[in-house]
């Protein structure tokens, strides 16, 4: 269970004892604030899916199909540490399979197309879906690596969690 808690610690905002990055951060009292940083891991992943820089949400992540930029032109975030490797392809294949499975079942059972027509439709749909899903999958995976501080990325500084108004009360 210790490994699971470590993964949760990487995802949760405002971990005690985390080091604050020095770039583009303003301070307000003891609170470190970077207005461009995503507030959640989900928001960072969505920026990656859209092909935007997960750090600022403004820069373009992919000038070519699958090659990310070395540095964001807007915020200067270094993306050379990313190691997405084959994982985006695995994610794209799994999602494509789950989308195509009901389509294949429908085409085979409800249409009167020949076997070759069915094969052509299925292969074409599979290739199109893989082509459309590969870059968003890679963007989301790079964003999650950055968010969690994996593979040489420095964990981005995040705002401290808001203090609860009923901090001292016990809830049952």
The predicted model gives 132-158 an average pLDDT of 84
Pick left, alpha or beta for residue 155 (phi over 0 → left; psi -120 to 50 → alpha; otherwise beta). beta
Q: What confidence tier does 154 reach under pLDDT thresholds 50, 70, 90?
A: confident
For helices 115-148 and 2-11, give the axis angle rounded to 10 degrees: 80
Average pLDDT for 142-160: 76
Task: Identify the pLDDT of residue 27.
Answer: 45
| Model confidence pLDDT, tens digit, residues 96-123 | 999 999 999 999 999 999 999 999 999 9
Q: Which residue has the tokens 């968003």?
A: 136
pLDDT at 35 over 90: no
Q: How confident is the model at residue 157 (pLDDT cuts 50, 70, 90)?
A: low
């Amino acid at each position: 269970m210790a490994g699971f808690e470590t993964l949760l610690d990487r995802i949760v905002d405002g971990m005690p004892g985390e080091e604050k990055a020095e770039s583009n951060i303003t301070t307000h009292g003891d609170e470190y604030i970077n207005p461009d940083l995503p507030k959640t891991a989900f928001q960072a992943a969505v920026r990656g899916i859209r092909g935007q820089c997960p750090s600022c949400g403004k820069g373009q992540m992919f000038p070519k199909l699958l090659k990310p930029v070395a540095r964001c032109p807007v915020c200067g975030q270094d993306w050379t540490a990313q190691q997405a490797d084959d994982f985006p392809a695995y994610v794209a294949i799994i999602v494509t399979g789950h989308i195509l499975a009901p389509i294949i079942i429908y085409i085979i059972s409800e249409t009167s197309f020949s076997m070759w027509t069915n094969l052509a439709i299925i292969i074409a749909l599979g290739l199109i879906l893989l082509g459309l899903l590969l870059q968003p999958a890679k963007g989301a995976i790079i964003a999650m690596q950055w968010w969690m501080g994996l593979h040489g990325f420095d964990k981005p500084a995040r705002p401290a969690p808001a203090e609860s108004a009923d901090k001292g009360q016990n809830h049952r």
